[in-house]
Amino acid sequence: MDASEIRKKLQDHQQEASELLRIFKQRPPVMRGGVYRLRRKCGKTVCRCQQGQLHESWVLSVPEKGAKRMLAVPKGKRMQWQQMTERYRRFRSARARLVKLFTEIIKLVDAMEQERTVAPPR
């Protein structure tokens, strides 16, 4: 890869990093975990859930110390919590991409150094 190609890739990576940084600078809160509908049977023999009409509730599943903790989502908070958990996933995904991107940038900088370095006179 010649110096021109390296500079072009560095430029592309710089632009992508700038786009990722916009995600990190956003102000809305984020929440770790995921919101989903939980459907289950209660165990009572005469309940409607025994015929397949399962009980439903919305929960927030949060990873904690290697296990998942489930919290009931308060009425009227489901959309807000879903948006916050989605922003968290987007944040973490952008962070992972940024780590890979900077690793690639370091490799390109090393390649640029190799390309531009001349041997000292003898």
Instruction: Tell me the average pLDDT across 34-52.
Output: 91
Q: What pLDDT was estimated at residue 31?
A: 97
CA-based max dimension of the chain: 95
The three-class DSSP label of residue 62 is strand
- Within the chain, residue ranges assigned H as helices are 3-24, 78-116
- Looking at the chain, the whole-number percentage of residues with pLDDT higher than 90 is 89
pLDDT of residue 45: 87
Would you say residue 43 has pLDDT above 90? Answer: no
Average pLDDT, the chain: 95
